[in-house]
Structures are given as structure tokens and as C-alpha cells.
Structure 1
Amino acid sequence: MQTATYPTLDLAQIRADFPILDQLVNGRPLVYFDNAATTQKPRAVLDALAHYYEHDNANIHRGIHALAERATSAFEASRKAVQSFLNAREAEEIIFTYGTTDAINLVAKTYGRTFLGKGDEILISTMEHHSNIVPWQMLCEERGCVLKVIPINDEGELLLDEYEKLLTERTKIVSVVHVSNALGTINPVKYLIDKAHAVGAVVLIDGAQATTHIEIDVQALDCDFYVFSAHKLFGPTGMGVLYGKRALLETMPPWRGGGEMIKEVTFEKTTYNDIPYKFEAGTPNIADVIAVRNALEYVNTLGKDTIAAHEHELLTYATDALQTIDGLRIIGQAKEKVSVISFVLDGIHHEDTGVILDQQGIAVRTGHHCCQPLMRRLGIAGTTRASFSVYNTTDEIDRLVKGLQRVKTMMA
């Protein structure tokens, strides 16, 4: 079988595209390994933000002057760019939100409130981020629904046999993460979707951690909803996406009331706008929506497969290197992973590890990663997490290994 080959990335040029990387932290060159929390932004995104505020700053959709028309055109061009990025059937299926959390809450508080009632069941998994737990708990408390949890094995993989047992005619929503932010596990979401549809359930996929690493095709997946945040995809913070099938979005009532989401308002009655505007009340996050198009173009220019191949090399290199450190244990060793490594050091608190690494200019994330139920299942309080992106290098991983050796020496 022929092995796939990918273009070689010009890492020096890529790193030059991200001006924040060119700095000293505590007197050391920055090593940024906190990409699962947020990715850094390329110059193209920063320039797009500045250009909007310097040249096109105006509210959208309602103005007829030149600035408003330019801003509106750029805003809607981003919607079409996201449609293409996800391979959605039409641009109207793309709803702009303030992030993944906001998008999940939108579905829970519109679809959930409309179609779920007492005794109906919602399935999530053990590895969910709090943002894909709490909104469903709130819905269960309000509507009398039942929340059920898909278990995992010790490697951080879903137990699919148990998932199938949990699915019944009472299952109305399955909401699962595509990629675990804490472990890097890639879940078999197509399988999960097909099984859920077989019992009549709709499926929401939390793609916050997946969009930078995996090719997403919502039509091929046949998911009902897909959500993600721009800031984990080299885009700005405060901007996210909800993809939903048109047939479902049209049955869902608005969530917020105000301008833009209306067709006509009288004191007696309001008629609501069509999708997507029905769910986009008020002045949106215009500049950040416009800039996300530049983030997607940057990813497309590099190529998803090329980015994934580089990140896989980093994951393999880091896994081998970290396992040479006595007392270090990697948490989450699924067969299918993205470039995230969580680990613990025997006898050393993860926060101490993070502080000492920061003193050496190395940025990692420590704690429970907004996955407290997952940490309890694994029997730990938290981990140190190193997460890699396209601009990271094996030399930086070598610095991490040396930094961890220093942690051990200082905490001995």
C-alpha cells in the first residue's frame, strides 16, 4: 500500500505569520503549548480586524451607505466561508454565535425546550466539557428529562457496547464531543450519529477541539447540529458557529429577542425573521465574524491534511520523549488522538508543574480542563496538558522535556 505524502511545511515562515510567538517570557523564548485552550492568530486575522475598524466600521444588514454595505458583504462572505469549510448544504444553515458554549445553549433552550418533556432522555459522554454538560442538566431540571452518560475505558475511549445499550425510544438527543479537549481522543462520531438516528434521536457534535485537526463534512456525518469556536481555529475570541439542518432550525423558536431577528413588530404581535437571522438578535460581533474568514483561508492554504500530518509527527515525537521521564504517566492513550497530551508526574502537583514550566517560558495548561467528571472517573484531580499546533516544533518539545526534568529536580 502506498503511503500518503504531504507537502513540507515551511515552519519558519509559518511561525513568522504569528507575531505573538516572537517574544521572551521570563527571559526565555516563548514555547506555546496551550493550543487546546486557544490558538494564536496569524497576521491575516489581525489585519482583517484592524481593516474593519479602520475602513468599514458600520452596523450590518440595515444600512444603505457604503460602509454598511461593505461590512454586510464581508459579514455574509464569512457565512459562506464557514458553509464551505463544513460542507453545509446552504449558507442559511450557519448561525453565528458567541462561541461553542453559546451554540450548545441555543440548541438546549430552543430545540430542547420545544421538543423534550418529562421522561425523555439525553445522552452525553464521560469526557464532555462542562459546556456540554451543564446546559443539558439545566434542561433536565426544567423539563423533567433524564441525563444519561456514556462510559469510557481507562484509555479514554467510549465504550460503544454500553452506548448502544443506553439508546432507547426515549432517547431524544445525543450530544457528544468530537475530540476530547482533555485527552485528545477522537470519537467515532459517524457511528454514534447513525446509531442515534436509528432510534429517532437528533445529534449535536461539539467540534470545538476538532475543527483545527480534522476535516469536517457535516453532510457526510449526517449530524443534526455541529458547533465550534473560532478562537480554537486561529480566529478571534467571542465568535462561534452553530450548524443546523434547515428542517430543524425552522422548527426552533428564537432564543433572544430584539433587532434583526424580526420581520415586523407591533405592540400586539411580532413576526420572526427567517433563518439564520432568527437566531442572531442584536448587533453581532461583526469584526470577529469577518476575520474568521481569514482564519479559514489560512487553514485552507496550508491544507488540513498537511497540518494534521505535522501535528501527528509532533504527537508521536512528544509521546516517545515524555515517556522517557521517570514518574511521568500519560493520561488518555486512545488509538485515535489529535495532538494533545495530558500527563501527571508522580508526587508533583500539576499546578507546581505549570508554574515551573512558565518560569522557563513554556506555556501549558494545568487543572481539570473543565472536565471534572472525567477527572473523577480517572481518579485524578487534574493533569498538565501540552497541546500542539501547526507552528510548534520538535525543538520546542525538547525544551518541554528539559523543563520537566527541572520540575522534578526542584520538587525532589
Structure 2
Amino acid sequence: MNVKDIREQFPILHQQVNGHDLVYLDSAATSQKPRAVIDTLDEYYKSYNSNVHRGVHTLGTKATDGYEGAREKVRKFINAKSMQEIIFTRGTTTALNTVALSYARANLKPGDEVVITPMEHHANIIPWQQAVKATGATLKYIPLQEDGTISLGDVRQTVTANTKIVSAAHVSNVLGTVNPIKEIAKIAHENGAVMVVDGAQSTPHMKIDVQDLDCDFFTFSAHKMCGPTGIGVLYGKKGLLENMEPAEFGGEMIDFVGLYESTWKELPWKFEAGTPIIAGAIGLGAAIDFLEDIGLDEISEHEHRLAVYALERFEELEGAAVYGPKQRAGLVTFNLEDVHPHDVATVLDAEGVAVRAGHHCAQPLMKWLNVSATARASFYLYNTEEDIDKLIEALHKTKEYFTNVF
């Protein structure tokens, strides 16, 4: 892949921030958008903005074709068996909450277990906390190894015959750990549990095959994969979704409404109450086209090279603590000795380098790391080794600044 040509397709990257060329290293929070996606959204609003499914006029038909066409693109993108297994949501958070509300609360009872990991994003912790509180079930955690990875032996010890749900991030948004989801799913199924996957940090960066992973539910967001904000996907195996009640009720998702009783549409629409996220879905479809034109394997290989290079460059930075395993996805989470990560991010921003600082919606993991916060540089298909060089150079300046000030 030609990164220079790819960068040309992202208008936002061609600007200066605080007098410096922008170095955007925060794609784990949200990715930038290529012209292909921006133009697709612009065309929808300019040319065929309309509601879907209801109208028979030309604009409504074109919007419906675009919306449902995007669903088919998602199906192919993650290799689901059927379009009925693809539910559009507001994002990963909504998708995980839908599983916790519609599946977990209907199926859990006292004595049952939900198993997750300490590396989860809050969106994959809080819904399960609430589900077990509502049902009398128990929440358990698979322990982490010293480097922030998961041992399958620990999975086997934690998951028992009482476990009904196992939920884990495919990739940690803090450590970059790539979890062995296929193997964890196998252990879950051997114990009669369903496997839920937070794919927010994996789907933009690697080829996903939900049938090969054999997960029961898989979730991700468009905005981390060159698509619009405000839309995501819940994949669920058809048999499970058919037996679940919707989490939201209203227009679009109904078949018949009487004064006292109502019935629901078939999948996938029974989970999509109200006017759906039409422009978002169409934009997600454009993002999928864009990523597939480049190739997910090529993107994954590029980011792996950047991660290896970044770890090598961080070794020369005295007083820097880097968290997570050596084999990782394309991000580096770190702290500088005696400098708060928010101060690090502020000085980097003055140099035109955008990174994330804070607890990254992963406070239990921060506690496990014995820190209150960290800084994080995350890479995507438009980043280069030169971006990492500028990051390291700016970090040297950060160290010098705080050494001289204090």
C-alpha cells in the first residue's frame, strides 16, 4: 500500500496545528475520514435525503436501497451468514447494551456467571454489572498475565458450567493486546455459554470473519474505521436474535400495533426502532468500500510495522514506561516519569502531535497497571514512521521542558 497516496485522500491531515504539520495519532479514539466517505454523505444529503422503508417515491426508494445495501456490505465485510444478523446501532456501546438488555437479562438467573476481563472498555463492563445486579447472577474476571495478555489456562479455570456469557475485547484499546477470541469462544461453548466480542478496536484494522471466530455476538463502530460517527453494528447469530425481545420500541420495528398488544417485524428491523441512522449506514458502506479497496491484510501489516518501529523508538526514551505486550496492535500506551499524561498531551499538541491522555474508559485496567492515567499514541493506515519520529522528538522536548521548569 502506498501511504503517501492514502494520505492524500484525507483532507483533514493537510493542515497545521500550532504552527506545525498535524501528526494525528489518536485513531483508536476516532479515525479520520477519506474524501470517498465525505462525498458519499454529501451526495446523500444533497441528492436523495429521505426516510427509508415507508415511502414509495423515488428518493425514498433510493435511500432504502442505499441503507439496505450498506447492510449487505457489512454482512460480507464480517462474513455473516445472513443480512438478518446485521443490526445497525448507534455504536459499539449501544450494541453491547442491547445484548446485555435483550439477551442477558432474559436469560440470567441467580447462580449464573458472566465472565469478562479487566482490560475491557467501560462499555463492556458497566452493562454486565447492571445485568448481574438485575438478575442475581455473578460477574467474574479472567486474570491478566504480567504483560497484559490472557492465558487460555486461566480462561478454562474461570469459565465454568455456571457461566452463561463470556464477553471480551478483541483488541485492548489501552494495551494493544490481541485476544485469542476463537479459542475463548470454543471454551465458552464447551461450557454452554455464549461469546460476546467488543470488536471496536479490531474491525478497522484486521480482517474479521465472525463465522470463523464462532462468536455469538460481535460489535463495532463506524467512526473508528473511516466511517461517520453515530452508527455501529451488532452482529448476532440468527437463532439468538430471533428469541430476543427488542430493547427499544416505536416506529419502524413493528408489524402490528393494537390498543393493548403489538407484534414486531422480522429480523433485523425489530431491533431498529424509529427513523434509522440512514446517512450513517450509507457512509459506513462507503468506508467499507474504501478499506476493502486497500485491503485489510495490507492495513494490518502496515500497522504492525509501525507498532514494532514505535516500540524500538520508545526504547531510546529514558524514563518512559510502555504498557502492554510486545506483540500488539497498532498503538503504544505510555507514561513519562514525573510528568502527568495530560501535561504530556498538552506539550505534544503544541508541537502539532495529537495523542490521547486519560484513563481511556478503562479505569479497572488503570488500577491493574497501578497508574491513574496514561498517554496513548494509536496508528492507522495513514500514519508513517515519520509520524512516530515526530512523536519521539516531541517527547524529548516534553522531557526537557519539565526538567527545566521543575
- TM interval, short-chain normalised: over 0.9
Q: Which amino acid aligns with 1:352?
A: D
Find the counterpart in structure 1 of residue 17 from structure 2: 25
Identity %: 48
Find the counterpart in structure 2 of residue 119 from structure 1: 111
Q: Which amino acid aligns with 2:40?
A: A
Residue among 373, 378, 383 paired with 1:382: 373
Q: For the residues of structure 1 that align with 2:349 and 2:316, how far apart are their CA atoms?
A: 21
Q: Which amino acid aligns with 2:215?
A: C
Residue among 14, 17, 36 paired with 1:44: 36
Bigger Cα displacement from structure 2, 161-170 vs 233-242: 161-170
**C-alpha displacement at 1:89, in angstroms?**
0.3
Find the counterpart in structure 2 of residue 90 from structure 1: 82
Q: Is the Cα contact below 8 Å between 2:231 and 2:280 reproduced in 1?
A: yes
**C-alpha displacement at 1:334, in angstroms?**
4.3
Q: For the residues of structure 2 that align with 1:253 and 1:11, how far apart are their CA atoms?
A: 45
Q: Is the Cα contact below 8 Å between 1:157 and 1:334 reproduced in 2?
A: no
Relative to the length of structure 2, the TM-score reads 0.98
Matched, 1:201 2:193: yes
**C-alpha displacement at 1:367, in angstroms?**
1.0
Equivalences for residues 142-221 of structure 1 within 5 A: 142-221=134-213
Aligned length: 403
Q: For the residues of structure 2 that align with 1:370 and 1:151, how far apart are their CA atoms?
A: 19
Find the counterpart in structure 2 of residue 76 from structure 1: 68
**C-alpha displacement at 1:159, in angstroms?**
2.9
Any gaps of 5 or more consecutive residues in structure 2? none
Q: For the residues of structure 2 that align with 1:308 and 1:166, how far apart are their CA atoms?
A: 31
Find the counterpart in structure 2 of residue 405 from structure 1: 396
Cα deviation digits, residues 122-146 of structure 1 (max 9, x gap): 0000100000000000111111110
Q: For the residues of structure 2 that align with 1:210 and 1:118, how far apart are their CA atoms?
A: 33
Q: For the residues of structure 1 that align with 2:325 and 2:401, how far apart are their CA atoms?
A: 28
Q: Is the Cα contact below 8 Å between 2:114 and 2:138 reproduced in 1?
A: yes
Cα deviation digits, residues 53-87 of structure 1 (max 9, x gap): 00111000000000000000000000000000000
Bigger Cα displacement from structure 2, 259-268 vs 81-90: 259-268
Cα deviation digits, residues 359-387 of structure 1 (max 9, x gap): 00000001111110011011111111000
Find the counterpart in structure 2 of residue 303 from structure 1: 295
Relative to the length of structure 1, the TM-score reads 0.97
Residue among 354, 360, 382 paired with 2:351: 360
Find the counterpart in structure 1 of residue 281 from structure 2: 289
Q: Is the Cα contact below 8 Å between 1:178 and 1:186 reproduced in 2?
A: yes
Find the counterpart in structure 2 of residue 369 from structure 1: 360
Matched, 1:222 2:214: yes
Find the counterpart in structure 2 of residue 6 from structure 1: none
Q: Is the Cα contact below 8 Å between 1:235 and 1:292 reproduced in 2?
A: yes
- RMSD after superposition: 0.8
Equivalences for residues 1-20 of structure 1 within 5 A: 9-20=1-12
Flag as ranges the 4+ runs of structure 1 deviating above 6 A: none
Q: Secondary structure at the match of 1:259?
A: coil
Cα deviation digits, residues 219-269 of structure 1 (max 9, x gap): 111110000000011100100000000000000001111011111111021
Q: Secondary structure at the match of 1:231?
A: coil
Q: Is the Cα contact below 8 Å between 1:156 and 1:334 reproduced in 2?
A: no
Q: Secondary structure at the match of 1:385?
A: strand
